[in-house]
Amino acid sequence: MVENSGPWYLKLHWQVLIALVLGAVVGSILPGFSMKIGFLGDLFLRLLKMIIIPLIFASLVNGITSLGDAKKVGRIGLRTFVYYTLTTALAITVGLTMVNIIQPGVGLEIGVNAELPEEFVTASHSFDQFLLRLVPDNVIGAMAQGEVLPVIFFAILFGLFLTTLNDGRGKAVQEVIDGFLEVIQRMTLAIIKLAPIGIFALLAREVARSGLDIIVALGPYFLTVGAGLGFHAFVTLPLLLIILGRRSPLIYARRVLPALATAFSTASSSATLPLSMQRAEHEAGLPKGVVSFVLPLGATVNMDGTALYEAVAALTIAQMYGVSLDLPAQILVLFTALLASVGAAGIPMAGLVMLVVVLQAVGLPLEGIATIIAVDRVLDMARTATNVWSDLVGTAVISRFEGSTS
């Protein structure tokens, strides 16, 4: 099902590129109109959100059962863990290097009038809280609330125990879930057709909403995060894709572009998951077992862009308050940014909320968040696209190591 026939304007990646450009143009010259058509983007987003929970459950169970046994799942799980941890650590290192060189927080005014939203003050992010949230006390409740991590936990256990049921009943359950997944994927395929309209409407409204002045005031900080994300997305990840995945980054990026553009315009890794899975499997030809296991995990726990952003934001706030963080403190930032990115949900602004963890770890004032919140949406869009790109590169790399690229 690789798109290689028909006129160019029927190809989704071109339609998506045009939607991005048109969205930016219309958003800046027709703000009133752009605000009005924003609901079309919300509609697209709701359609995607509608299928996330059933998709995550079915694809993880299917991924595990098609891998066959717990040993193989363990091996891929370990590779996934190593890739995700290493790339996230690389991203944070790039962010820390940039923020130390550029020093965007020096001379930045502390937003005295800016109020810190309630959720930052009351947020509790200790490790035991994280573990408790991972295990659902009511899996239907977790599904109903759209809580992805507990659903992943349940799905992995369900899949693993399903592989131990080696009789007709086990086969029957697998077939039902396989068929269920197929239906969800067909629904995804229909929703994807709306991606250009959704992306256009979301971007136009976003451009109409966020004034340029704020971006200019926070320019150096904005540029530091942007440069870090750019380096990771355009240098580090493509190099990994070439060296470890043996794939051309350009061709691969073109195949998965609708997923990247959706990540950018929705600022939600979770909402992008249906598209990422569809493009990785059907357009880039990656094996279903790896895609169904590695991508849902990645969309939830692997957030290179978010981790990089946490590190840059924390150091910018330190510079803003005139606090100098020595090497051990910066290493602490590295580890807490890594954990915070794992704990961040794949939804808009989650990274900003998790910044509390990093600031608390190194004893920085939480009020610093109030200053940088102004440009968060645009940075959120960029870091989400980086998050999804890293998940997709990881899936290609792990597919190759599983010896089944096609």
- Yes or no: say if 353 and 120 are a contact pair by the CB < 8 Å rule: yes
Q: How far is C-alpha 234 from the geometric centre of its chain's CA atoms?
A: 16
Shortest-Cβ-distance residue relative to ligand ASP: 351
368 counts as binding ligand ASP under rule CB under 6 A: no
Concatenate the DSSP letters of all residues of 55-81 into one string. HHHHHHHHHHHHH-SHHHHHHHHHHHH
- From the list 94, 51, 118, 91, the residue with the least C-alpha distance to 342 is 91
Cα–Cα distance measured from residue 306 to residue 76, given in angstroms and rounded to the nearest whole number: 24
The type of residue at 3 is E
Nearer to ligand ASP, 45 or 139 (CB): 45
- Yes or no: say if 57 and 151 are a contact pair by the CB < 8 Å rule: yes
Cα–Cα distance measured from residue 142 to residue 300, given in angstroms and rounded to the nearest whole number: 15
Nearer to ligand ASP, 73 or 314 (CB): 314
268 counts as binding ligand ASP under rule CB under 6 A: yes
300 counts as binding ligand ASP under rule CB under 6 A: no
383 counts as binding ligand ASP under rule CB under 6 A: yes
Terminal Cα distance for the chain, rounded: 13
Among 34, 336, 384, 399, binds ligand ASP (CB under 6 A): 384
- From the list 229, 237, 189, the residue with the least C-alpha distance to 395 is 237
Q: How far is CA 125 from CA 67, 98, 146, 295, in A?
A: 34, 27, 19, 25
- From the list 347, 310, 293, the residue with the least C-alpha distance to 58 is 293
Concatenate the DSSP letters of all residues of 25-37 into one string. HHHHH-HHHHHHH
Among 303, 329, 340, 356, binds ligand ASP (CB under 6 A): 303
Phi, psi of 102 (to 5 degrees): -80, -30
Query: Whole-number minimum distance, CB 392 to ligand ASP, in Å?
Result: 13
Cα–Cα distance measured from residue 247 to residue 337, given in angstroms and rounded to the nearest whole number: 30
Nearer to ligand ASP, 177 or 392 (CB): 392
10 Å Cβ neighbour count for 301?
22
Nearer to ligand ASP, 65 or 87 (CB): 87
Among 269, 292, 319, 336, binds ligand ASP (CB under 6 A): 269
Nearer to ligand ASP, 111 or 343 (CB): 343
How many residues lie near ligand ASP (CB under 6 A)?
16
292 counts as binding ligand ASP under rule CB under 6 A: no
349 counts as binding ligand ASP under rule CB under 6 A: yes
Query: Whole-number minimum distance, CB 91 to ligand ASP, in Å?
Result: 12
Per CB under 6 A, which region of 6-14, 63-71, 178-186, 383-391 contacts ligand ASP? 383-391
Query: Whole-number minimum distance, CB 349 to ligand ASP, in Å?
Result: 5
Cα–Cα distance measured from residue 233 to residue 389, given in angstroms and rounded to the nearest whole number: 7
Cα–Cα distance measured from residue 300 to residue 155, given in angstroms and rounded to the nearest whole number: 14
Task: Give SS3 for 134.
Answer: helix
Nearer to ligand ASP, 191 or 382 (CB): 382
Query: Whole-number minimum distance, CB 299 to ligand ASP, in Å?
Result: 8
Among 387, 390, 395, 399, binds ligand ASP (CB under 6 A): 387
- Yes or no: say if 220 and 102 are a contact pair by the CB < 8 Å rule: yes
Query: Whole-number minimum distance, CB 85 to ligand ASP, in Å?
Result: 17
Nearer to ligand ASP, 58 or 308 (CB): 308
Nearer to ligand ASP, 229 or 397 (CB): 229
Among 274, 289, 348, 368, binds ligand ASP (CB under 6 A): 348
Q: How far is C-alpha 120 from the geometric centre of its chain's CA atoms?
A: 21
- Which two tokens mark 304? 């290179």
Using CB under 6 A as the criterion, what x/- string covers residues 308-347 for binding ligand ASP?
Answer: ------------------------------------x-xx
Per CB under 6 A, which region of 6-14, 92-100, 249-257, 380-388 contacts ligand ASP? 380-388
Among 267, 329, 361, 375, binds ligand ASP (CB under 6 A): 267
351 counts as binding ligand ASP under rule CB under 6 A: yes
Binding stretches for ligand ASP (CB under 6 A): 267-269, 303, 306, 344, 346-351, 380, 383-384, 387
